Amino acid sequence: MKKLLKKLIVATFLLIGIASASAQKAENPIVFADVPDMSIVRVGDTYYMSSTTMHMSPGVPIMKSTDLVNWKLVSYCYDTLDDVDALNLNNGKNAYGSGSWASCIRYVNNTFYVSTFAGTTGTTYIYSTKDIEKGPWEVKKFKPSYHDHTIFFDDDGKIYMIWGAGRLRMIELKEDLTGVKEGTERVLIENASAPAGNNIMLQAEGSQLFKVKGKYYLFNITWPRNGMRTVVIHRADKITGPYEGRLALQDLGVAQGGLIDTPDGNWFAYLFRDNGAVGRIPYLVPVKWEDGWPVLGENGKVPVSLNLPASKGLIPGIVASDDFKRKKNEPKLPLVWQWNHNPDNSKWDVNGKKGYFRLTTGRIDSDILSAKNMLTQRTIGPTCVGETKINVFKMKEGDVAGLMLLQARYGYAGVKFENGKKYIVMVNAGGDKPEEVERIPLKGKKVYFKATCDFTNMRDLADFYYSLDGKNWNKIGTPLRMRYTLPHFMGYRYGLFNYATKTTGGYVDFDYFNINYNN
């Protein structure tokens, strides 16, 4: 009996050890939040990743990691991309679903380079800095806008760009990066989608080029009709070709990205997946080399777990709570915050001593999607909750302020000042048009709002709540059926807003913003 008991105890500890070891591994997705179009470079034992945030300002976020799993925002390439009506939300124009797209990050001769492009301005941008965390960033820009390009610094000092969809082209850049060398444009690959078949819905794009042991490897995404997002890779001995291609991964729709190696010689492909309302989320896939080709996945599949350190969560590296209290010399807004379009910096402030974020109206807007100075953060999966407290005492007639879940099919809980009275309202734009579904009179000057999101298995449902004391919460309105729409082309974001419909100069104070996993 004692021997049997001893065996059972040993077996139990072995099972616990196995479970513990499994729990200490990284799991896909690596980041359960909207971080699309990633580009990653390793410098020593540190990784830097750039991504897409399009119409948001500041833009082209830079994240840092020492293990490929736990990432922290450390910089942006620009405060504002350009000064045009669409990026400023002026004269009825906007840059939703546009702005700057897929970037490419490189490290050459002790300098970081991040290139991107914008259909909004028809321009290609190349940012550079010696200090990727502190800057400053220098920018070179030229026309036209080279779609989904990869920039590549070859060993002979020449600099190239590859871009396009289906029919991929290549150019050589001037040494000072101010434009294209005349007469260098050429077709690189006539039909880069071919390895995935001839019935293609999305032609091969999203180019990223790498050089490994003297060979060139070009990653692209394509999408066969009635199929899924697919990785194709082309290989050549010379950068100019000829290139031979093969289908590299077709599983779960995980695609678009490139190669990265670890200091100890392991290889991974970084890719992303369209994952409903939370957005496009990053995955890592192990890579083995066979006959000079990178072979992606485990038996052609994207693994759930990876032989990398476990995630410590996305808080506070990717999103974070903020009490709006600031020490001397601290920036007014941490990097987790981005503005919806370019802000008017004269109409907002953070009182670091008392701890509040003030939004003052500076113009008349007809609807919330055209409202200036909405401050946003990503939502995160699988579930999350965002909460804030607002002082609405200085609102003016016609003002609307509150907490939003931002996308084309948005929802918000807020306060409306109408006909001399304030009301707590919930507006749901999950249907064909925005609808105020509940209204409650507000007598006091402070109110709390909370929005919960459930992205589990793409359930994509959100609920809104209000409270008058921060303790007792009441659900308001109807659940928001969140939908990822192409006109915005971005995962849902929490937004703090205040806009005027009749007269300017009213303001509200946000006391804090808290974000947590919604357990």
> Does the residue 406 lie in any domain?
yes
208 and 87 in a single domain? The answer is yes
- Measured in degrees and rounded to the nearest 5, phi and psi for residue 91 equal 55, 40
For residue 136, is the peptide bond before it cis, meaning its omega torsion is within 30 degrees of 0? yes
> Does the residue 207 lie in any domain?
yes
35 and 148 in a single domain? The answer is yes
- The amino acid sitting at 361 is T
- Model confidence at 466, in pLDDT bands (50, 70, 90)? very high
Over residues 487-512, the mean pLDDT reads 98
Q: What is the C-alpha to C-alpha distance for residues 284 and 272, in angstroms, rounded to an integer?
A: 8
Q: What is the percent of the chain with per-residue pLDDT over 90, rounded to a whole number? A: 94
Q: Which two tokens stand for residue 169?
A: 């082209």
11 and 90 in a single domain? The answer is yes
380 and 433 in a single domain? The answer is yes
pTM: 0.94
Question: What letter does residue 277 receive in the DSSP assignment?
Answer: G
20 and 142 in a single domain? The answer is yes
> Does the residue 325 lie in any domain?
no
Query: Is-contact 83 71, C-beta < 8 A?
Result: no
Predicted pLDDT at 15: 41
Question: What letter does residue 208 receive in the DSSP assignment?
Answer: E
Q: What angle do CA 61, 63, 69 make, to 5 degrees?
A: 140
Query: Is-contact 81 118, C-beta < 8 A?
Result: yes
CATH code at position 397:
2.60.120.200
Predicted pLDDT at 24: 87
Query: Looking only at Cα atoms, what is the longest distance across the chain?
Result: 86
115-135 confidence digits (pLDDT tens): 999 999 999 999 999 999 999
Locate tokens 């995160």: which residue?
Answer: 380
275 and 416 in a single domain? The answer is no
> Does the residue 307 lie in any domain?
no
- Of 301, 329, 350, the residue that ends a domain is 301
CA distance readout (Å), 253 to 221, 227, 230, 302, 518: 10, 9, 6, 10, 27
Predicted pLDDT at 16: 40
- Of 301, 325, 348, the residue that ends a domain is 301
393 and 273 in a single domain? The answer is no
284 and 390 in a single domain? The answer is no
Question: What letter does residue 341 receive in the DSSP assignment?
Answer: S
267 and 380 in a single domain? The answer is no
297-333 confidence digits (pLDDT tens): 999 999 999 999 999 999 999 999 999 999 999 999 9
Domain with 372 in it: 338-516
Q: Is 186 left (phi over 0), alpha (psi -120 to 50) or beta?
A: beta
> Does the residue 462 lie in any domain?
yes
Q: What is the C-alpha to C-alpha distance for residues 358 and 498, in angstroms, rounded to an integer?
A: 9
361 and 291 in a single domain? The answer is no
Write the burial class of residue 23 (CB in 10 Å: 0-12 exposed, 13-18 middle, 19+ buried).
exposed
432 and 289 in a single domain? The answer is no
Other Cβ atoms less than 10 A from the Cβ of 22: the count is: 12
285 and 414 in a single domain? The answer is no
Q: What is the percent of the chain with per-residue pLDDT over 70, rounded to a whole number? A: 95
Q: What is the C-alpha to C-alpha distance for residues 193 and 196, in angstroms, rounded to an integer?
A: 6
DSSP element (H, E) containing 11 = helix 2-23
- Of 281, 301, 321, the residue that ends a domain is 301
Count of domains observed in the chain = 2
> Does the residue 319 lie in any domain?
no
> Does the residue 316 lie in any domain?
no
List the one residue out of 336, 361, 375 whose CA is nearest residue 497.
375
CATH code at position 240:
2.115.10.20
Write the burial class of residue 214 (CB in 10 Å: 0-12 exposed, 13-18 middle, 19+ buried).
exposed
Q: What is the C-alpha to C-alpha distance for residues 276 and 296, in angstroms, rounded to an integer?
A: 24
Locate tokens 């390895």: which residue?
Answer: 195
- Measured in degrees and rounded to the nearest 5, phi and psi for residue 314 equal -90, -5
List the one residue out of 320, 305, 338, 388 whose CA is nearest residue 491.
338
Predicted pLDDT at 352: 84
Q: Does 45 score more than 70 pLDDT?
A: yes
First to last CA, the chain: 43
Q: What is the C-alpha to C-alpha distance for residues 70 and 26, in angstroms, rounded to an integer?
A: 9
184-212 confidence digits (pLDDT tens): 999 999 999 999 999 999 999 999 999 99
Alpha-carbon 83 to chain mean position: 22
Q: What is the C-alpha to C-alpha distance for residues 361 and 497, in angstroms, rounded to an integer?
A: 10
> Does the residue 283 lie in any domain?
yes
Task: Look over the chain and give the mean of its residue pLDDT values, rounded to a whole number.
Answer: 95
Write the burial class of residue 21 (CB in 10 Å: 0-12 exposed, 13-18 middle, 19+ buried).
exposed
